[in-house]
Chains A and B, each alone.
Chain A
């Protein structure tokens, strides 16, 4: 309830900022509105599609398939698979989270899921192409090698710290 009231206040305040920023002469409000509209339109384009894909995945892909390929934390190929998946995960963490949730739900092992999740913030292709264009291939290659190795290693640490429960508490309610 408290959360709802807080949310309501934030929404109303931001709508006020947007209206004033749009019509009034206030550069901060104007910039905030501009950013908000560009971000939300960008995310609105991708997010619904991702959820539909996740829904289809949940319904059609048998648990055994995921368990077999991603269920074993000692299987190196599982990490290669999820990193390839992470490369194609456009939209970043917001897209990666529901996908990681469904992967775990279908029996992927914890370190593999965590590698995917953090990996999606490291190896995304569109982002990487931008980076290499502006900062050079050497920069990108070093960043990739360092961050990928550390992501896989730390996914075991994180997995151990997470205890026995699944990472995603929400399940398939």
Chain B
């Protein structure tokens, strides 16, 4: 994080030294782009915070323990809807693993968590439009499921 800040400040200084007008234009572009996504962004944050508050971790754990194929489906749907940062998700995943959840189910959960965003939809739609946002997330869901299958096979879990 600090590195990014440092790099940005150095680049900004260099830029304004070389061409103040261009730098001003760059900042204008930055502000404009930021303004455009501010509201979808806030909506997304509100949705995420409420979803995480409503869905308790214990319930997630319990559901994923069920019969295996249904657990994969539930895991992938949960992962698509819920949004949590990596430092929350992976410790949770390792707890799930220790309490007996299979690698395939964990993969379905964590990969959809990273790749598919129901709650990020308002932000993504601003950029890509409705059709491409749906298609891209649909394909990401498919990628996550195949990946979960590959992982299940690699760890010798058969559940089909």
Contact = CB atoms under 8 A, between A and B. Distances in A.
Contacts of A173: 32
Given A54-B30, A134-B91, A143 B8 contact: no
Contacts of A72: none
Interface stretch (A63-71, A73-81, A163-171): A163-171
Nearest to B38: A47
Contacts of B124: 93, 97
A51 B53 contact: no
Interface string B48-69: 1110111000000000000000
Contact of A32 (B49, B142, B155): B49
Nearest to B30: A55
B5 to A, nearest CB: 6
Given A47-B34, A167-B132, A36 B114 contact: no
B23 A51 contact: no
Interface string B124-148: 1011110110011001101110110
A46 interface: yes
Interface string A27-67: 01101110110011011011111011111101110000000
B45 interface: yes
Interface in A129-144: 130-131, 133-135, 138-139, 142-143
Query: Interface size for chain B: under 10, 10 to 19, 20 to 34, or 35 or more residues?
Result: 35 or more
Nearest to A29: B53
B52 to A, nearest CB: 5
A90 interface: yes
B27 interface: yes
Contacts of B49: 32-33, 35-36, 39
Given A154-B143, A167-B132, A14 B46 contact: yes
The 10 closest A-B pairs by CB, nearest first: A55-B30, A55-B26, A31-B53, A36-B49, A32-B53, A35-B49, A134-B94, A55-B29, A51-B30, A134-B90
Interface of B: 1, 4-5, 7-8, 11-12, 15, 22-23, 25-34, 36-37, 39, 41-43, 45-46, 48-50, 52-54, 85-87, 89-91, 93-94, 97, 103, 106-107, 110-111, 114-115, 117, 120, 123-124, 126-129, 131-132, 135-136, 139-140, 142-144, 146-147, 150-151, 154-155
30 contacts: A31-B53, A32-B50, A32-B53, A35-B48, A46-B1, A49-B5, A55-B33, A56-B23, A59-B22, A60-B22, A92-B114, A93-B124, A94-B123, A98-B33, A118-B115, A118-B136, A121-B115, A126-B86, A127-B114, A130-B89, A131-B90, A135-B94, A138-B154, A138-B155, A146-B151, A147-B115, A150-B147, A162-B135, A172-B29, A173-B32
Interface of A: 7, 10-11, 14, 17, 28-29, 31-33, 35-36, 39-40, 42-43, 45-49, 51-56, 58-60, 90, 92-94, 97-98, 100-101, 114, 117-118, 121-122, 124, 126-127, 130-131, 133-135, 138-139, 142-143, 146-147, 150-151, 154, 157-158, 161-162, 167-170, 172-173
